[in-house]
Structure 1
Amino acid sequence: MSYAHTQVAQIAAISNERCIGKENQLPWHISGDLQHFKALTTAETNEYADSGFNGIVIMGRKTFESMGSKPLPKRVNFVVTTQLDYAEQHGLSDREDVHVVHNLDDALTHAANLAHGLKFDTIWIIGGEKVFKNALMFTDRIELTLVDTSIENGEAFYPEIPSDFEKVAESAPVTDEKSGLSYRFVTYQKKA
């Protein structure tokens, strides 16, 4: 289900048991995966280049805080939280690059309107566990980095991929030089 001709895509890096977080952080540091994430979430170009934005991301409050409560550059960041005074408390009220919303529907609606205005093709869902799970019904595409490792005491997990998605692309495995971890990129598309 596309939101007004804009694709909703999820992007995550997951372990063998689908772990995406531990102690509100990524359980690994893989520069190739971070570059992949940045390349995909800032891939948009438009005639309004002076907007300074090349992508739209939606995330939950914990994901935002795991990034030091700083918005991702060159992207419009939507932060979903039930805390009504979150924007005021964190000095985010009058920023163009951060919009605090109180449910996923509002985030998707505002992001779709913005994407339409900027002529962007994709809205990115970037975490965490609850936001991924709740956004699956609206999602057209899933971009996963499969990290070949097991995380003990993982605290956040990516949901099971629904049967109405099919694997459409998979990269060869790559080994991260610093961590020694092997990973590959996999794309799932919702069946028509």
Structure 2
Amino acid sequence: MSYANTQVAQIAAISSNRCIGKDNELPWHISADLQHFKQMTTKATGGAVQGIVIMGRKTFESMGSKPLPKRVSFIISSQMDYAEKSGLVGKDNAHVVHNLDDALTQAASLAHGAHLDTIWVIGGERVFSEAMMYTDRVELTHVDTDIKDGDAFYPELPKEFVVVAESEQKHDEKSGLDFRFVTYKRENAE
């Protein structure tokens, strides 16, 4: 798969019933998972850009409508005036696009120039689903809980994705939740 010779990876934390969000927020707070997310989506390159992330508008707003530090954010919104309304016009670290293809095209171009080999898709539900056909690798944090009243869910992984790495079970003291990090790769993907 990949996109313009750049690996496309997805990263998410999901519950046992695949929930990724509730009321436009994560349904839990696990510090180790947030650290894992930061470590995975940034790569010291010596340059100003250390990561590229693609997300939907709601995901961007769930993060306080601020681009992530050291990363360039591509925000997909159908609202034509979203960049103006959000104060993002002229920003180097955040670009509003109106569809996934534009996000991937611009992100891949930026990745080549910044010597980054991966574009990260970070949510939400619709963006994960649309990007699956381009995705080479998926990094999931499996959180051992069921979220009964969640309203955003991670899609079922296509059968060509196989587990290539898995951490031991971990425990978060504050939330009381168990979790593990699992890496899936599309078979026949480099």
Identity of aligned residues (%): 68
State the match for 2:11 in structure 1: 11
CA distances 1:86-114 after superposition (whole Å, capped 9, x unpaired): 00111101000000000000000000000
State the match for 1:79 in structure 2: 75
How far apart are the structure 2 equivalents of 1:45 and 1:169?
Answer: 25
How far apart are the structure 2 equivalents of 1:44 and 1:93?
Answer: 27
* Pairwise CA RMSD: 0.7
State the match for 2:38 in structure 1: 38
Native 8 Å contact 1:44 1:121 kept in 2 = no
State the match for 1:132 in structure 2: 128
How far apart are the structure 1 equivalents of 2:5 and 2:129?
Answer: 22
How far apart are the structure 1 equivalents of 2:105 and 2:69?
Answer: 22
SS at match of 1:26: coil
Which runs of 4 or more aligned residues in structure 1 lie more than 2 Å from their structure 2 counterparts after TM superposition? none
Counterpart code for 1:55: G
- Which one of the candidate residues 98, 105, 109 is aligned to 2:105? 109
State the match for 1:163 in structure 2: 159
- Which one of the candidate residues 168, 189, 192 is aligned to 2:185? 189
Native 8 Å contact 1:4 1:116 kept in 2 = no
How far apart are the structure 1 equivalents of 2:161 and 2:4?
Answer: 20
Structure 1 segments unaligned to the other structure (5+ residues): none
How far apart are the structure 2 equivalents of 1:75 and 1:185?
Answer: 22
TM-score (norm 2): 0.97
TM-score (norm 1): 0.96
1:53 CA drift (Å): 1.6
SS at match of 1:126: strand
CA distances 1:157-185 after superposition (whole Å, capped 9, x unpaired): 00000011111111000000111100000
How far apart are the structure 1 equivalents of 2:179 and 2:54?
Answer: 24
Counterpart code for 1:13: A
User: Quick check: 1:67 aligned with 2:63?
Assistant: yes
Native 8 Å contact 1:174 1:182 kept in 2 = yes
Counterpart code for 2:68: L
Structure 2 segments unaligned to the other structure (5+ residues): none
